[in-house]
Amino acid sequence: MTQTYNIALLNDDTILHVTLNEDYNIYTDMPYSNGDTLAVLDKLDAPVVLITEIRMKMTFDQLLLGTKSVAVGEDATWRHPNVAASILVTTDPTVYKAAAGLKTDTFGNLDIPVFHTAEEAIAAAKQLVNVA
């Protein structure tokens, strides 16, 4: 089976980069990717900047399901105590625009910056780490 997602610690373990590849299926892969991400976060000694890179296209229903999974509830990765900040990477205009909707009460008024490339997101994450 092909790995549909990747998880990597970067910058001396101050940045956690989760990549959801083009063949990632939100219905079947999300429980595993979220579980693996939470396992890494649980083992960390200090908070990190979490970058989620979304390479696949999503329907509105998939977008809503994915957002609820990472932003709402006890196992929400973006709410984990070892997440100092979250950043999104996407070229999907639907995801890009939907990120603005995270600033609502429904999603806990999250302010998630969105970048078009992983390089831009990693540079922004490094700046956040240096400020902290």
User: What is the structure's pLDDT at 15?
Assistant: 97
Domain count, the chain: 1
Structure token digits, residue 17: 């980069």
Instruction: Find the domain containing 36 and state its range.
Output: 5-131
pLDDT tens digits, one per residue of 32-61: 999 999 999 999 999 999 999 999 999 889
Which CATH number is 99's domain given? 3.30.750.24
SS3 call for 118: helix
Average pLDDT, the chain: 90
User: What is the structure's pLDDT at 132?
Assistant: 56
Q: Residue 97 pLDDT > 90, yes or no?
A: no
Q: How far apart are CA 34 and CA 8, in angstroms?
A: 13
What percentage of the chain's residues is helix, strand, coil (to nearest 5)? 45, 20, 30
pLDDT confidence tier of residue 2, bands split at 50, 70 and 90:
low
Q: What type of residue is 57?
A: K
β partners of residue 72: none
